[in-house]
Chain A
C-alpha cells in the first residue's frame, strides 16, 4: 500500500470524482479503528461516517451473523448517541452485545416482519438524524435500496451498517452483487490463540475489506472487540516490525 499522497493535484482529482459521483454533501469525517495497520489502509483514515457500510459473516457466519454483529456493535459503540437495530428475527443477545461495547441503554430494537419493512425502518432511522448509528439485519440489498439508504445516511450524517445475513448458506452468493455501500466487510472467525492453560482465548477474526470506494481491499487478522468496542492486534502481529505486519493482499471480485 502506497502512503497516502497529499499533493494538491490528487486532492483536486478526488474532488472532481466526488462531484461526479453526485453524493452531494460534504464528507463527515471518519471513525478510526485505533489500529494503525487498519486505519492506514482505509480512505480517510477510518470508517467513513454518514455513509452506508456492509458487513457480512464468512462461512457459517453468513447464517448466524454472530461475528458480524459483534463487529457492527463495536463500531456503533464507538459512535456517540443511540443506536437503532432493525431485525427480522429477535435472536440478538443483549449481554453479548454489551461485551462488544454496546450497552443495553443505547440500543433501540425494531422487530420488523420482513426484509422490506426492515429496509424501510432503517431508512427512517437514517433520515431522522438524531441517532448515532443504524444497524439492520438485511438479507437482500438491491442497488436501488442501498442507494436510497446511502443517500439517507449522507443527508443526515448518521452511519448505517447493513448487516448482511441470509437464511441459507447458498443465498450468501448475493454478497457479490454491486451495492452503493461505501465499504463492504467480511468478518470470519479464526481459531483463537492457544492459551498456556485449558480454555478459550480472546476470539480472533479474519477481517476482509472486500470493497471500498476510493480505497483498496485487504485482509487482516485481528482480535475481536473488547468491552469498549475496540479491535485488538494479535500479540504475534503486534510484536512484529511494522513492515512485516499484515502484508498480505487478497484479490476479490
Chain B
C-alpha cells in the first residue's frame, strides 16, 4: 500500500492508498521505501523541538503529520503572524521540507485550514473561523474514519452541513466526539496544548498550594527557579541562550515569557533581571499554580580563565546590556551596521548582530554621504539642464530652494544581476547646497538621454549634516 507520495509521484498518477504493485506497474523503475511510522514520529519530534527553540515556547507534535504551535506572544518577535509563518515555511523549505501552515484562533481551526485550506499559507482573521471552516470537507474535523464514512452515507459533505444540525441526534448516533471536535474548532470548548518537553531539556518547576498573582511574589519565585536552573546548567557545563518561563494559571491557560541572550549565560542575577523585567507582560488571571522555567536553547559554557594583566585593559563586556535592550525592544531592534559591496545606497548597509566580530572595513570615501537617508526617496520638483547638470532649484515638501552650489553627477548603475528591471537602470546623484547652506542628496532616475534608463524624475534621498 502506498502511504506517502510526493508531488512528483502524484504527477505520475500515484496516489495514497493504491497498492504498491499497481504503482510499480504505473511507473517503471519506481523507488519504493518501506514506511516506518516510528522514524517518522521521531523526526517529527525533532522538527517540533527545532520549532520550539526558534519560534514559540509552546509547541506540540500533532501526529501523524503535524506540529501545533501556540504563537500567542511569540509572533511579534518575528514581525507579526504572517511574517512568522513565512519565515517558518521558508526555513523549512530550505531544509527540504514542504509544509503548509495556517494561523487561526483555535487548534482545531488551524489544523483544518492547514490541511484542507485553499492556500498553503493562511492567516485567519479573528472571528472568521466559522465562515472559513464551513467550506471545508468533513475530514478537517479530526474524526475517526468510521464516523466520517457514516456521516457521508447520511449525506453530509462539508462542515457547513453539520453546523446547523440539531446536536442531540448527532451525539446519540456518533457519540460525544463529533460535537466536541466541532466545538473545539469553533472555540466554544478550550483545547489546551500539552507542550513538548524533551527529557534532555533543562527544566525546573515549582507548584504552589495556593495560586500566586502578585508581581513581587512572582519575582521572588523566579529568583528561586533561576538559581535552581543555573545549578542544573552548571552541572552539565551549559549556558542558556534562550529561556522560557511558563506560568500555568488555575484556569488552564498558559502565559509564557521568552527571553533571549546574545551569549550563553548562567549568571543567576542577570537571568533573574531579564525575566523580572517581563513580569508586567504576564496576566495572572485568577492565579498561577505552576511556574516552570526551561532553558530551551543551550550552548556549552565552560569556565575560562580571564587574562589578568596590569597593562592590558580588556574590552568591557556588553552582552548584558545587549540582552537587556534586546528583550526590551525585540531582538531585531538592536543591531550594528556593516558594509555591503553595492553602489546602490540603500543596499550598501546591512544589519548584523550587535556582538558580531568587527568588520574592520568601512565604505569607500570618494564622495560625501548624507547623515540621514530617507526611508524612501521622495519625489521633488526641479528645473535642471539635461543630461548632466545639477538642478537650478528644487521643491521638496512644499518648500522651494534655489541651488547655490552642487557636486555631481555620481552615476550609480542598476544591479542587473539581481533584477531584470535594473538591467540598464541608472541613477545620477548630486550633492546640492541651497542658499542657506542646507545640503541635500538628490538623484535623477535615468541618465538624462535614454528614457530606458529611468523615468527622468528627480528624487531627494538624503540630508547632509
Contact = CB atoms under 8 A, between A and B. Distances in A.
Interface in A108-155: 108-113, 117, 120-121, 124-125, 128-131
B76 to A, nearest CB: 11
Contacts of B336: 104-105, 107-109
Interface string B234-247: 00000000000000
A169 to B, nearest CB: 11
Contacts of B370: 66, 93, 96
Interface string B317-338: 1101110110011001111111
A191 B320 contact: no
Contacts of B407: 199-200
A78 to B, nearest CB: 16
Interface stretch (B90-98, B119-127, B177-185, B361-369): B361-369
B11 to A, nearest CB: 46
Interface string A211-234: 000000000000010010000000
**Interface residue range, chain B:** 35 or more
B441 to A, nearest CB: 9
Interface in A88-109: 89-100, 103-105, 107-109
A105 B437 CA distance: 31
Nearest to A132: B316
A184 interface: no
A104 B433 contact: no
Contacts of A52: none
Contact of A128 (B321, B354, B374, B465): B321
A198 interface: yes
Interface residues of A, number: 59
B334 A91 contact: no
Nearest to B321: A128
B140 to A, nearest CB: 39
A77 to B, nearest CB: 12
Interface stretch (A3-11, A23-31, A35-43, A68-76): A68-76
A125 B438 CA distance: 32
B339 interface: yes
Given A91-B375, A95-B369, A130-B316, A66 B463 contact: yes
* B contact face: mostly helix, strand, loop, or mixed: mixed
A200 B439 contact: yes
B414 interface: no
A64 B463 contact: yes
A204 B374 CA distance: 22
Contacts of A94: 337, 339, 349, 363
Given A108-B336, A129-B316, A189-B438, A203 B464 contact: yes
A94 B370 CA distance: 9
Contact of B363 (A69, A95, A117): A95
B460 to A, nearest CB: 11
B188 interface: no
Given A95-B363, A198-B406, A66 B465 contact: yes
Contact of B334 (A68, A70, A73, A109): A109
Nearest to A98: B362
Nearest to B316: A130
A200 B465 contact: no
A65 interface: yes
Contact of B321 (A66, A124, A203, A224): A124
Contacts of A90: 375
Contacts of B365: 98-99, 227
A60 B334 CA distance: 28
B8 interface: no
A81 interface: yes
Nearest to B356: A105
A100 B433 contact: no
Closest 4 CB pairs of A and B: A130-B316, A70-B465, A94-B337, A93-B373
15 contacts: A59-B438, A66-B371, A66-B465, A69-B371, A81-B316, A82-B318, A93-B372, A95-B339, A97-B371, A103-B362, A105-B359, A121-B325, A130-B318, A131-B318, A194-B405
Interface of A: 59-60, 64-71, 73, 81-82, 84, 89-100, 103-105, 107-113, 117, 120-121, 124-125, 128-131, 189-192, 194-195, 198-201, 203-204, 224, 227
Given A95-B349, A111-B329, A195-B405, 14 more contacts: A70-B465, A91-B375, A93-B371, A93-B372, A95-B362, A96-B371, A105-B358, A108-B318, A109-B336, A120-B328, A129-B316, A191-B437, A199-B406, A200-B407
